[in-house]
Structure 1
Amino acid sequence: MASFHPHYDAIVVGSGPGGASVARTLAATGARVLILERGSAAPVAGTLTQMTAMAAIPGKGAFFHRDASLLVRGVTAGGSSTINFATAASPPAAFARLGIDLADDERALRAELPLGPLPDDLIGPMARRIMTAAQDAGLGWRKLDKMIRPALCRTGCWRCMYGCPFGAKWTARDFLDEACRHGAQLVADARVERVIVEHGRAAGVEVTVGGTVHAVRAPVVVLAAGGIGSPRLLHRSGLAPAAVPFFSDPVVAVMGSVDDLDGGAEVPMAAGLALPGEGISFADLALPRPMYSAFAAQVGRFDRLHAHARTLSIMVKIADEAGGAVARAGSTRR
């Protein structure tokens, strides 16, 4: 049963990188901070079952667009950082063109986070084969920055997207832990229903925990529930237009088989190539076997279901047009 203080200095809704970072900063100043997370805060086990609960429940973590593409988000402590591939990139040039200078912020993060290319011994055979072929073709294929602690990463491990059970992958749970050490309170499995507005200002939130609705008050409410969660909450609070702008860069996996490899268990997105002018980026993408099988079945290639160990996969990520929306009814389109 959740127990709330009668008054907080700030309520942070969502515990992904943005929310966890804000909560950490506020708590470090001595502010009384409440963090509300809709998903679970159970320790990461690195299993398909747990990942499915975090990200594959339709309408909660998984959404189908009209073109049958699938959008997945992590509804758990740490947000999608808990189940992503731990790949990082510098802010795109678009920010600088808009007069937003993120250079100091990037330097600070690079100094704090375990951020850099993987050592050679952690580059798997599939990623190495693709990188060698690309470089032989004259392409600028290179190692990508990973948010991984090499000393804790295990050769032949493939669990990045399932959630790293070894503590090798950085996630926003690191920031959450620090916020809680500074005195912040984290309440998981908490569904925020709406923002309480009084005299034109946020005064707290209504949140359901264990089937009970609580009114929790604070003069500052930070919505950090992600590109879908925050608009939905704004709609339920009467604080947003009928459609909130939204985009989601689509990802296509291009696959081909070779006869002289027996792999499939390695860190994905170890190396790649970015073409910002064209809005396209590429990376190796060794998938866990169940995900590979789902991709093959999705396109009707049932003859390829058992070819996981010898199938090379390249991720092709294409910049989306900024024309989508999260609608008041909760649906998303891109």
Structure 2
Amino acid sequence: MIVIVGTGAGGGILARELAKNGQKVVILEKGPYAETRDAANYYDKYTPDVDLLSTTCVGGSTVVSMANMVRALDEELHEFGIDLTEEYEYVENLIGVHELDDSHIGKGSQMFLDAARDLGLDVVKMPKAIREEDCIQCGKCAFGCPVDAKWTAKDFIDEAVEAGAELICGAEVTDIILCNMAASGVKYVKDNEEHLIKSNKIVLCAGAIQTPVIMKNMGLTGIGRELFFDPFVSVGGYLKDINFNTEVQMTGLVKGKNFVLSPHFSSFIKGNIDNPDVEDKDIFSIMVKTPDESKGYVSSDGFVQKVNTIEDIRYLAEGVATAGFILEKMGVDPNTIGSTVYRGAHPGGTVKIGKAVDSNLESEIHNLFVCDASVLPVSPGKPPILTILALAKRLADYLLKNK
């Protein structure tokens, strides 16, 4: 039997692949099984100094993602003997990754694409896992899709349960039981009662914050001492009646050397404009996302600390300046352009490949594996979901081959 801790991108596809291939699987999820449309109720809260976006519920942060699916870190993973070419193709076909039809590229998004091209920037449509036939173009992707039109890891958990996997929600893992330096069971608390599941293989997929907490509390060293979180801001301003707030978000992608840009509505931009008549429908904004150095840590009680380096700030400044040129080219009033606060979207790197796990994602504890953003060696500076899915598919194949 294999126990999977967490139901995000890594845990979801692992559970699906293992269960559908006859493996007995138990899935432990700290959060509830919630309707996708209610996902915004399950955003995590960190310290006041760290504004980090993640959720705790079945499906993890995929339920509030934009379903953006880009390949990332190919060269970096090759250094560890990991080639995900076949896994990428498998996953992309499985979840239907594609550029959205023109019918789902809104007016504001098209203006962004055209302006970026006119400026000579490297711009493409964003590959996504969204079913156009179900999408109502409401602009609420980040709050949880109200009509389940986008793929989430919750879909895979449902398939795994159909195939015979057991899902236990409200289960907070407190310890991994060892026998002769090998994983042999999982302790968890549910409804204030402690439980124990014996298992000869355990995979931690609880995310880049909770996975290192579990491992540090086991007494493992060198865990959680590094942390990246793909910092971002949204930059935007006034463009009367653009109605961007109701469009499918992040349908385009500008690729810079040290940043990526994508059209993304932020209601916070309105607060920067000294005009009470400005409404959400009059705001257009662009997300600026950069890779960051792994200068941060996660403590054994889940406290998160992040340091922004000079290079982090320089990359962000480059992206913000480029976003400003695009906004002006689009006709956004330059006197209204402002930015949101600095936030993080994709925490990772706390249990890195090559340091805390090997190329098969196995830790120093035999039969204890890790498969979430924790293992990524450096910040991708772009959505990591597809890369995590591919890594998890690779791990599933390895576990099935080495039963």
Q: Would the aligned equivalents of 2:97 and 2:128 in 1 still touch at CA under 8 Å?
A: yes
Q: Quick check: 2:7–2:205 contact (8 Å CA) kept in 1?
A: yes
What does the per-residue CA deviation read over 1:124-156, in whole Å, with 9 as the maximum and x for residues that have no partner?
2221222222222222322110110111112x3
Give the direction of change, closer, same or farther, for the CA distance of 1:175–1:64 in structure 2 (3 Å limit): same
1:191 aligns with 2:186: no
**Corresponding position of 1:42:** 34
TM-score computed with the length of structure 1 as normaliser: 0.85
SS in 1 for 2:111: helix
Q: Work out whether residues 246 and 326 of structure 1, in 8 Å CA contact, stay in contact via their aligned partners in 2.
A: yes
**Residue of structure 2 equivalent to 1:3:** none
Residue 70 of structure 1: how far off its partner (Å): 0.9
- Give the match for residue 45 of structure 2: 62
Residues 36-55 of structure 1: per-residue CA shift (max 9 Å, x gap): 011111222x2xxx334311
Once the two structures are TM-superposed, the CA of residue 16 in structure 1 deviates from its matched residue by 0.7
1:241–1:141 CA distance, 2 compared to 1 (3 A): closer
How far, CA to CA, are the matches of 1:93 and 1:225 in structure 2? 23
SS at match of 2:131: coil
Match of 1:321 in 2: 293
State the partner residue of 1:248. 229
Matches within 5 A, 1:161-240: 161-240=142-221
Q: How far is 1:316 from its partner?
A: 0.5
CA offset at residue 172 of structure 1? 0.7
Out of 115, 120, 126, which is 1:133 matched to?
A: 115
Task: Write the mapping of 1:1-334 to structure 2, written as runs, cut at 5 A.
Answer: 9-44=1-36, 46=37, 50-55=38-43, 61-64=44-47, 66=49, 69-95=50-76, 97-98=78-79, 99-154=81-136, 156-241=137-222, 243-275=224-256, 278-287=257-266, 292-293=267-268, 306-334=278-306
Structure 1 runs not aligned, ≥5 long = 1-8, 56-60
1:93 Cα offset (Å): 3.9
The equivalent of 1:5 in structure 2 is none
Q: In structure 2, do the counterparts of structure 1 residues 253 and 203 end up closer, same or farther at CA, with 3 Å as the change threshold?
A: same
SS at match of 1:63: coil
In 1, are the aligned partners of 2:8 and 2:61 still within 8 Å (CA)? Answer: yes
Question: Cα–Cα, structure 1 residues 81 and 262, in superposed 2: closer, same or farther, change >3 Å?
Answer: closer
Runs of 4+ off more than 4 Å: 300-306
Letter of the structure 2 residue corresponding to residue 144 of structure 1: M
In the alignment, the residues of structure 1 paired with residue 35 and residue 215 of structure 2 have an alpha-carbon distance, to the nearest angstrom, of 30
Identity %: 30
Contact 2:60/2:153 (CA < 8 Å) preserved in 1? Answer: yes
Structure 2, unpaired ranges of 5+: 307-403
**Offset, 1:189:** 1.4
Work out the CA distance in 2 between the residues paired with 1:325 and 1:145: 32
SS of structure 1 residue aligned to 2:297: strand
Structure 2 CA distance for partners of 1:242 and 1:136, relative to 1, 3 Å: closer
Per the TM alignment, residue 303 of structure 1 is displaced from its structure 2 partner at its CA by 5.2
Distance change in 2, residues 1:242/1:229 (3 Å)? closer
Query: Which sits farther off after the overlay, 92-101 or 313-322?
Result: 92-101
Task: State how many pairs are aligned.
Answer: 305
CA-atom RMSD in angstroms = 2.1
The corresponding residue for 2:368 is none
Q: Distance in 2 between matches of 1:135 and 1:310?
A: 23
Deviation at 1:203, TM superposition (A): 1.5
* Change beyond 3 A, Cα 1:36–1:146: same
Could you tell me how far 1:302 is from its partner in structure 2?
A: 7.0
C-alpha separation in 2, matches of 1:212 and 1:218 = 19
Superposed CA deviations along residues 264-311 of structure 1, whole A, max 9, x for unmatched, are 111110002112xx3200000024xxxx14x655xx667579532111
